[in-house]
Amino acid sequence: MVAEADDVVSAKLLTTSAPPATATATANANAKVTSDGLIITITDAIRSFLTAASKDSHLSRYLNDLSSSLIMQSTIPYKSLKTIWFGSNHDTRPDLSSLLSGSDFIFTSPKPREKSEELKLRLKKLEEAAERNVYQELVKDITPKKGVEEEEPFSSYKDQLGFGKHLVFFVFFLQHCQGIMFILNFMLCQMHVILDLLTILLVWGLREGIGILCYLVCMRHNHISL
């Protein structure tokens, strides 16, 4: 089953059109070694396999050139080695596990991220603030403590302005309160006068009404008698 799968992969690689060869083998090798992916070290077994692959007529021209460019390298991409291995004749190529035996993985460090100017400035300010805090912590027992000065009331222009606004509002409110109290007192006095007048009119009206009623009763009684 493994041999059949290798044949299928090899047939696909051979029928695929190969990209044009590079100008020089060195440039091609550098492009492959610096490509992304897993990087492995070359052993004698891998170098022998690449040497044979560079002259293998079963491979395409592209794979021959790729094998030639990787022979003298100390490290190669695993992807390139696997491509050459799959393209080789499965009857003559070595087993992949034995080919990779003794090879090591090469882990490359990523490029350090550059800090922006804004971040550098912020880090500098934080570092200076941390240094000041450390210095103050060291000399806190040496430097004399400053007495707490009594804060003067209305020491700032803003406080004075705020106090003046409240004072003007309070005086304005008192003046209006006095006016309102005067109006209320005047209305109460007028209410007393009005109540007195109503009382007088009510008493006078009752007396006049009773007199008129008595007169009408007497007139009716005399008329009945006649």
pLDDT confidence of residue 111: 75
Mean per-residue pLDDT, 55-81:
89
Query: 60 Cβ partners below 8 Å, 6+ apart?
Result: 13, 14, 18, 87
Mean pLDDT calculated for residue range 204-211: 75
Residue type, 19: P
Question: What is the model's pLDDT at position 15?
Answer: 36
Kindly list the domain boundaries of the chain, sorted by start residue.
2-106, 160-226
Average pLDDT over residues 97-105: 86
Higher pLDDT, 14 or 221: 221
pLDDT tens string 121-162: 999 999 999 998 888 888 877 766 655 444 555 556 667 777
For the cut 80, the answer to whether the pLDDT of residue 224 exceeds it is no
What pLDDT is recorded for position 19? Answer: 39
Q: Supply the pLDDT for residue 130.
A: 92
Q: What is the mean pLDDT of the chain?
A: 73
| Residue 111, CA distances (Å) to 108, 114, 117, 214 in order | 9, 9, 18, 125
pTM for this predicted structure: 0.36
Q: Band the pLDDT of 18: cuts 50, 70, 90.
A: very low
Among candidate residues 92, 55, 50, the one with its CA nearest the CA of residue 75: 50
Determine the average pLDDT of the residues in 214-225: 70
For the segment 83-97, the average pLDDT, to the nearest whole number, is 86
Contact 89, 56 (CB under 8 A): yes
Name the residue with higher pLDDT: 176 or 133: 133
pLDDT at 127: 92
